[in-house]
Structure 1
Amino acid sequence: MKAVFDTRQWRHDPQHFMANGAVLPNPEQPRRIEVLRAGAEAAGCVFAAPGDAGLGPIAALHSPEYLTFLQTIHARWRRIPGAGAEVIPNIHPGARTDGYPKSAVGQAGYHQADTACPIAEGTWEAAYWSAQSAITGADLIIQGERSAYVLSRPPGHHAFGDLAGGFCFLNNSAIAAERLRAAGLRPAILDIDVHHGNGTQGIFYERDDVLTVSIHADPARFYPFFWGHAQERGAGRGLGYNLNLPLARGTGDDDYLDTLSVALRQVASFGSRVLVVALGLDASIDDPFQGLAITQDGFARIGAALAGTRVPVLFVQEGGYLCDSLGDTLTRVLTGFQEAL
């Protein structure tokens, strides 16, 4: 399987993460790259660097106002007397209105949903090349590849059109899907990260040309809390084109695979000609976030089920955090997929 990664993605090195009022080390560490790359290569992936398609495919989904913010905010933030090394908002609008602040502090609150997406000197460059990797992955599918793996890091599925959050800045899976749609394919996005892909849902919520499906831990008591509930089905032309399948904390292999079959039936009913898998590995029983309890064998079965769609599949890396089994989990998904073809 062909795979895509750019070394400039190492440049994002977040230091801080606030949870339950405590400042903790950020779990989205650069070392994830090393572990995930080894796991992909163990499954037979051969990596190449992405091309540079420019800002156009990114700006197709992210507003120019937001992209300007991401490119300039760190330098502006550092000019604030006494400011910390990372852009972390301390104020958020209760409801975002037409008013747009001029200050760096106000714009950080406007464009960053939470304290889990700190922006440092290398963040924009890493996010840009993470998105370019997803674009190149989509181009591989357009050119006729049956499957491809994209090591997108930082991840992307919590990023809305003009809002970062949950370790995410640019929505790599959504950008890839839009690239595929523009090429005349009919994409569905299936998000199997333990956290709901709220940014992906938000981007396509009123559209009927991209199907969005997410299997995740029930957000009633789990991040992102405010999105991902079963009643969220889309709006306007998008009504019926969004499917959320929340699962109880601790759900294991068999129940998860039953839910996956429901998701894949929806993908088939949409008439998808290509499937973008937002590949979170944090549903693992070993993951530090402890949302679901999928075993290594379970991930191999997930890979095999995805192969059963018989459409091209683009795997775009989302979550999955440092633990002893992270690399092996990726290997099992990709191996299970390839062996079932």
Structure 2
Amino acid sequence: MEFSDVAFRVLSDDYVKGDSGTGVVHCAPAFGEDDYRVCLANEIIKKGEGLIVPVDENGCFTERVADFSNLYVKEADKAIIEAVRLKGRPVKSGTITHSSPFCWRTNTPLIYRAVPSWFIRVEQLKEKLLENNKQTYWVPDFVKEKRFHNWLENARDWAVSRSRFWGTPLPVWVSEDGEEVLVMDSIEKLEKLSGVKVSDLHRHYIDHITIPSARGPEFGYLRRVDDVFDCWFESGSMPYAYIHYPFENVELFEKNLPGNFVAEGLDQTRGWFYTLMVLSTALFGKPAAFKNLICNGLVLADDGKKFLKLSSSYGGSRSIWG
């Protein structure tokens, strides 16, 4: 049985509470953040390795769960309980009312399920991020020295891919067997390798473009991965992208970075401020996005919730670039 040498043992973690249920839960690392964290910490799984995900995109068990394959997971409960009963192993069967995530559009239950994603290895940059943060000036300074510093200290690898149609497509082409991966760093490169003229970079203009395998025709073609970029990746790229660097304005770029200052609300500590710092550190090894930062507070409504700006799809206007 897979994982039998490391799994099927009792672990302890403080996220399990005794105020609901038995205080004992099972861990399925592909179906919950805490499950994944606990299994990773106890070396049941390894970071970066494929997880067992026996549930398909429709929420049904796959053939890996032979007795219940093609059953929707929420409808399989009775069949699973009956299978346990027939084996003479039930302890107790009943119904407990508890909170559960639902889709607000369709009022149907949501299922946590791990999907393949593309990451930036931010954890490898952690020490450099902390060093670069010290080279910037913030008003007020406690946001830099406490809130932002603490966030950087606990930085995780950043999933930059999203399963959507509208967005900036990831410029990654992969072979059918996954052995060849090409990153397009220019339109010119894509045109040269594919032999196709490119005039628009939206998905519906480039997803059909294929690249012959460099290993020979028997290995087929490379195709673009389906994902688009997290829009925060784009906002963090603003200091370089808005002048079309590195394809143009190289001298302008070198003379004017880092910017004199940026200004935004406190809620951008873990948003725009963070992505600016991560990308400048990854690309240039220094705080190339800004010298000074002004962080304003938030206006709250009568119920204590923050007012939100009406602005772009990035979730907030980008205030000042000096």
Give the TM-score normalised by the residue count of structure 1: 0.26
Larger radius of gyration: 2
Structure with the greater relative contact order (CA < 8 A, sep ≥ 6): 1 or 2?
A: 1
